Structure 1
Amino acid sequence: MKLVVLSCLLAFAVAAPRPDGDAVTLVDDRTDDGDGNFQYRFETSNGIAEQRLGAPGSEGQSNMQGDFSFDLPDGNRFDLTYSADENGYKPNSAFIPTDHPLPAHVVELLAIVEDLVRQGATWNDKGERLTRRK
């Protein structure tokens, strides 16, 4: 009985529609000079696209810059541009979370703490104040 159920589940999984399973490559453009310089660009019929340009870096690494994009299930388009070099990987996208500005009361509390530190106040690792203002 377990074998029958497992076979049915496997049959359903294989027969399930795969919208991306029928995607075809629309653009595939590649060049590689063999000296570390390269570029490529591709696009598929399901909306996936990427392009990348690479060159040798000053410290032996590959420096790259490029972008990629694809359609999200909610209908939005995900776009990301990036560069990668001796200074690290730097992505840029509206989908990357960013720090929010601190609320005004937190900025005020941090200013109070800085003032106390300038006056010689110290705290232990539990946040308990050890010394008072001088």
Structure 2
Amino acid sequence: MFKLLTIHSQLLVATALFACAYAAVDPADAHATIVNYANEVNPDGSYNYAYDTSNRIQVQESGVGSSYASGSYSYISPEGQPIQLSYTADENGYQPKGDHLPTPPPIPEYILKALAYIEAHPFEKIQLKKRK
């Protein structure tokens, strides 16, 4: 339970720092307040939290201890663009999704062909003979 609260607290602090950093960009946001807040930590290790601020930042997350989390946040960028990000964090790592995130270039055809060849021709163990 202590570890859960520590991780949960770290997430809340990180999110609050994000909100403060965002507010520092626009002086009008320096006086933003939390207008909606919910926080639930259950005995089984699951948790939920969410909050909204007066400057239109919205954050929500749910998860189970240090093994899984899923959430999202949204805000308006200094350029006036709505930013929305959703994520999961589990045994596969942190996986964010958002239209504003950069995407990698497509894998070149020759690499895809090489990977298909490797998959179709698995490596066979070579028996090495000892020298005398």
Q: Of Structure 1 and Structure 2, which has the larger fraction of its residues in helix?
A: 2
Who is 1:75 aligned against? 80
Matches within 5 A, 1:1-134: 18-56=27-65, 61-101=66-106, 107=109, 110=110
Give 1:88 deviation, angstroms. 1.1
2:29 partner SS: helix
Structure 1: tracts of 5 or more residues without a match: 1-16, 115-134
CA distance in 1, matches of 2:90, 2:37: 25
Normalised TM-score (structure 1): 0.58
For 2:64, give the aligned amino acid.
A
Number of residue-to-residue matches in the alignment? 87
For 1:97, give the aligned amino acid.
P
Give 1:35 deviation, angstroms. 3.1
Structure 2: tracts of 5 or more residues without a match: 1-25, 115-132
CA RMSD of aligned residues (A): 2.1
Higher RCO, Cα 8 Å, sep 6+: 2
Normalised TM-score (structure 2): 0.58
Percent identity, aligned pairs only?
Answer: 32
Q: Residues 7-61 of structure 1, C-alpha deviation per residue, up to 9 Å, x if partnerless?
A: xxxxxxxxxx8211211111101111143210011000111110000114xxxx3
1:95 partner SS: coil
